[in-house]
Amino acid sequence: MRRVYLFCNAGMSTSLLASKMQKVADEHKLPFEVKAFPDSKMDTIIAEFNPDCICLGPQVKHLYGKVVEKYGHLGKPIFVIDSADYGAMNGERVLKMAIKKMKENEGK
């Protein structure tokens, strides 16, 4: 089971996107767990669940540098979700991006 975790300010709208991503994964029988959390719980969630991919909502893109600095050594992809895909709640495109980033990361 691959864990793709999304982080944003409160986790509200990102929860909707995560559920759309999970639905796409389930429809394609992909072994993924997609969940959303508020950025205030990032340290606890990453330490406890060790996600395979860390996705940041556009509203917290200012945290990207700090997140890479803090968790980059884990060798997991970290990226900011495209604001157009986020605004459209395009779960399929965001999931595809997460999968692409994980595959690129495996090649390193």
Give the whole-angstrom CA distance, residue 60 versus residue 8.
6
Tell me, yes or no, if 55 is annotated catalytic: no
Q: What's the distance, CA 44 to chain centroid?
A: 15
User: Which entry of 4, 6, 8, 45 is annotated as an active-site residue?
Assistant: 8
- The set of residues, in sequence order, having a beta carbon less than 8 Å from that of 36 and lying 6+ positions away, is 5, 6, 7, 8, 11, 14, 15, 17, 18
Indicate which residues carry an active-site annotation.
8
